[in-house]
Structure 1
Amino acid sequence: MFHKVKDVNPRANLMLDVMFADGTTKEYDVAPLLEKFTAFEPLIDEGLFESVNVDPGGYGVSWNDDIDLSCDELWDNGVTIETPFDGLMAFSTAADLWGLSDSTLRKALVYGKIRSGIDARKYGKQWIVTRGAMIREYGEPKEPERVQ
């Protein structure tokens, strides 16, 4: 399954906190890569390391044109950590993961399949839904096609 990266935050000691579209957060240690691959050695520079960004489409993270990590590497070798936001995602993200439209999720709210204040909540203009509610109502997420 494609694990789309939504956000990344650099931490001390060459650690990354990587948030995935499905609401999972993983901690990834970049330090071992410096020992194995010379291409990662420039990341010892704190300024460069802190400049990490999510690649367009969420297919990984990168620092520049020469240094990047794939979403598969981050997912497979990252360690899942618990946060108060685990399993929360925007309606648009949930719709993408489950192959639904945003309007389907809004209708689910109206008809009580997804319960406002329990399964989902509106923050400003954005609706947030729990992964558990999505699985309960729609099963496991669909595996989106991966662009090669």
Structure 2
Amino acid sequence: MTHPNLFGTGRDQHDDEPTSSDTSAPVDLEFVAKIVRRAGLDCRVDPHHSPGALRARRLDRDGAVWTVSAGRCSDTAVPLAFVGPTASSRARLLRNPDERHLAALVVLQALREDPGELFTHDEATACGLVDDLIWA
């Protein structure tokens, strides 16, 4: 999902950004982590977790506890990503994910008053992030 910017190009290009617009390409979790860090969160990618997982947390609370998990879903007909509380077995699914959308959802989850609870439809809607989310 690409949102037009003020200059009408659809997205700003930087040397460190992925340049592919192919939505079937896997999400670059290292780039997602970079965006999340720029938003002021602590973030790391665990390459040993298949198909790769990202962990994030606020720096101002529970410094040792990773509160958000995100990553790619493997073996699905449609590209999917997930984001949710680390301590929960539940997560929100994102269809045809791109790095910016997934990063924004990670930030939304991390900045909740209680990051142990999934973000709501209303919260995602208010932030303009509801597109391509799967609500079960």
Classify the TM-score, shorter chain: under 0.3
Query: TM-score normalised to the size of structure 2?
Result: 0.26
More strand by share: 1
- Of structures 1 and 2, the larger Rg is shown by 1
Does 1 or 2 have the higher relative contact order (CA < 8 Å, sep 6+)? Answer: 1
Query: TM-score normalised to the size of structure 1?
Result: 0.25
